[in-house]
Amino acid sequence: MKQDAISLNETRTLLAGSRMTAFTKAATDAVTGWVQDFHHVAFGQTTRAWAISDLFYHFGQEYHAGDEGVRYGETRGQRYFVVDERILMRFKLLDDGLQSSNYPTDQALDFVGQEPIPDFPPLDRLHIGYRLDITGLLLRDAFVTLPIGRPERFNAWVWQVLGDPIGASSIYGLQYKLPGEFGAAGDQYAYDDYQQMLG
């Protein structure tokens, strides 16, 4: 893991306003699009996750079309957005512990551990992650996270951008200091309600 990883506050500044609104709109429209146009009882969780991801990247490109600092990329079959050549963001379904549920390939482990990956831009890698409600039909909440892949704490920090605040109900809301270089104890969790900005 690099020592100068982007902080929560830097990320909030970089993505503030229209950028985060566009990402959250892409996430909500992707889930809505899945439910309205593609949902069928015959489709399993994997099909659902792929469809929502495909829609997110489609809408994300459309909603950021006027922003020269945001570009779509694909490397080794992995899709992402690069923002201001500073961060690389992948859209992921998260579990209750706010961890992505990838099969633990070497590349997946290197991604969440912030290790160099051949052919990937050498940027800080973030997740824009989402969780669905128990029915799998509604977007429960969404987050931007800096994954570090440590067993004791998967993310260095969490920025919640949609849904009811997780607050003290999670390890991230407790605001304890993570050993290492990730800022003050208060720099581990933030909440901004972008739902209000979606209209």
Residue 2 lies in a domain: no
Per-residue model confidence (pLDDT) at position 175: 40
User: What's the CA gap between 20 and 31, in Å, rounded?
Assistant: 17
Number of domains in the chain: 1
Q: Which stretches of the chain score pLDDT less than 70?
A: 1-3, 167-187, 199
Residues 125 and 147 sit within 8 Å (Cβ to Cβ): yes
The whole-angstrom separation of Cα 94 and Cα 127 is 9
In a domain, 139, yes or no: yes
| pLDDT of res. 3 | 63
pLDDT reported for residue 37: 92
Q: Percentage of the chain with pLDDT > 90?
A: 59
Q: What is the pLDDT of residue 7?
A: 93
The answer to whether residue 1 sits within a structural domain is no
pLDDT digits (tens, 9 = 90+) for 79-114: 999 999 999 999 999 998 899 877 778 888 898 999
CA angle 15, 11, 118 (to 5 degrees): 100
Q: Per the domain annotation, does 3 fall within a domain? A: no
β 87-93/124-132 pair status: parallel
CA pair distance 20, 5, nearest whole angstrom: 20
Q: What pLDDT score does 75 carry?
A: 92
Domain containing 159 equals 8-178+186-198
CA distance 110 to 87: 16
> Does residue 171 belong to any structural domain of this protein?
yes
